[in-house]
Structure 1
């Protein structure tokens, strides 16, 4: 269990470093929020969700799917609370800013979903 969490943490760290570097390199416009904070939030949230899923899948394997669903809602809700002032108070987000919010979400959500699916299929 600890080994799988550490491997996942390493993969998330690499995904964070590579994707943030590439994304930051290709953005030419200034954003109304800090891009690294969005990436960091999604990386930490993915790590927390996976760690929780490891614990739940070993203790209550039949409830793991429901737990994952609840954790997804919590993750998105906390994102809205944390970034409310810097992102959601701005009515005029540019197309670049919209993509800068969606790209990290889908990158880390995909990595997290693949890892959780692999975990649940192994149980």
Structure 2
């Protein structure tokens, strides 16, 4: 269990470093929010979700899928609450701002789904 968590944390850290540095290098316009905070939120949330599902899968393996679904709703809700003022206060977001929100979401969501999927298939 600890070994799987450590591998997942290292994979998320590598994804964070690579994706954030590439995204910040390619972004030419000024964003209304901190790209570092968005990437940090998704990286930390992905690790927390994985650890929670890892713990849930050891005690209630049949309910781990429902736990993952519940954690996704919590993650989206917390993101909306944390970035409400900087992201959702504007009338419309520019194209680079939209990309700056969607790319980290899908990158870490895919990494998280792959990790949880491998975990649940191994149980």
Question: TM-score normalised by the shorter chain: which range applies?
Answer: over 0.9
Q: When the two structures are superposed, what TM-score results if normalisation uses the length of structure 2?
A: 0.99
1:54 aligns with 2:54: yes
Residue pairs, 1:85-96, within 5 angstroms = 85-96=85-96
Q: 2: CA distance between counterparts of 1:92 and 1:121?
A: 41
Residue pairs, 1:1-123, within 5 angstroms = 1-123=1-123
Q: When the two structures are superposed, what TM-score results if normalisation uses the length of structure 1?
A: 0.99
Unpaired segments of 5 or more residues in structure 1? none
Q: 1: CA distance between counterparts of 2:66 and 2:22?
A: 34
Runs ≥4 in structure 1, deviation > 2 angstroms? none
Q: CA RMSD in A?
A: 0.4
Number of equivalent positions: 123
Q: 1:98 is paired with a residue of what secondary structure?
A: helix
